[in-house]
A and B are shown apart, each in its own frame.
Chain A
Amino acid sequence: DAGVIQSPRHEVTEMGQEVTLRCKPISGHNSLFWYRQTMMRGLELLIYFNNNVPIDDSGMPEDRFSAKMPNASFSTLKIQPSEPRDSAVYFCASSLDRTSHEQFFGPGTRLTVL
């Protein structure tokens, strides 16, 4: 299995631009998580899905952030408009289901907003 796949691995954009991060979970996994990692705040859960349905989005910082999961094999995290304080590493993780706690992380997307 290829593991969780994220793209792009690196993204540099200018303030105000739209950014879309992509994630392909492990095949057969029903839960998907988006995290943000910064030096100041550590690993923060932004949102998670179960069976393609958003379960908890309380970690989404503000309306500029949105996430979708149109099918079991694909999810996006969009930031519009982006701001310099959004610069971070964004991780996607998947787990087998809601009762299976082990989460498998992707390699992350390093986002820099100038």
Chain B
Amino acid sequence: GENVEQHPSTLSVQEGDSAVIKCTYSDSASNYFPWYKQELGKGPQLIIDIRSNVGEKKDQRIAVTLNKTAKHFSLHITETQPEDSAVYFCAASTGTASKLTFGTGTRLQVTL
């Protein structure tokens, strides 16, 4: 089955700096790659996603890049703010069903 690895497990940045989280996947058939944000005491929430026919997608301060050849994708957050502090999860799906395989999560801390 699919295996998703995520790095780093923790990341601390100063407010205004950029943050990058990286994931690799094993199943070359995967074609959908979402990123979820989980705040303390809440369920994960989708923040951005990318499909395999696209190399990059941007939504305001958040961008995701995908390299299908290398089987890795990354989340980029620019101009970080304290409210960006949360746990971020990447995931992958083959697209034949909604089943997602999640990475292990990255705890992002944005300091003032």
Q: Which residues of A contact B (CB under 8 A)?
A: 4, 31, 33, 42-43, 45, 48, 50, 55-56, 91, 93, 95, 97-108
Contact = CB atoms under 8 A, between A and B. Distances in A.
B21 to A, nearest CB: 14
A101 B34 contact: yes
B43 A105 contact: yes
Interface of B: 32, 34, 36, 41-46, 49, 89, 93, 95, 97-105
Best-surrounded residue of A93, A95, A105 (most CB of chain B within 10 A): A105
A62 B38 CA distance: 28
Nearest to B33: A101
Contacts of B44: 43, 91, 105
Contacts of B46: 102-104
A42 B102 contact: yes
23 contacts: A4-B43, A33-B98, A42-B89, A42-B103, A42-B105, A43-B44, A43-B89, A45-B101, A50-B97, A56-B99, A91-B44, A93-B43, A95-B98, A99-B98, A101-B49, A101-B100, A102-B34, A104-B46, A105-B43, A106-B43, A107-B41, A107-B43, A108-B42
Contacts of A106: 43
A55 B97 CA distance: 10
Contacts of B100: 45, 101, 103
Contacts of B95: 101
A38 B84 CA distance: 22
A95 B44 CA distance: 13
A45 B99 CA distance: 8
A93 B36 CA distance: 13
B98 A101 contact: yes
Contact of A102 (B41, B49, B99, B104): B49
Given A43-B44, A43-B89, A98 B98 contact: yes
B104 to A, nearest CB: 5
A107 B45 CA distance: 10
A92 B89 CA distance: 16
A48 B93 CA distance: 14
Given A93-B43, A107-B41, A107-B43, 14 more contacts: A33-B98, A56-B99, A91-B43, A97-B98, A98-B97, A99-B98, A101-B32, A101-B93, A101-B95, A101-B98, A102-B34, A103-B100, A105-B36, A106-B43
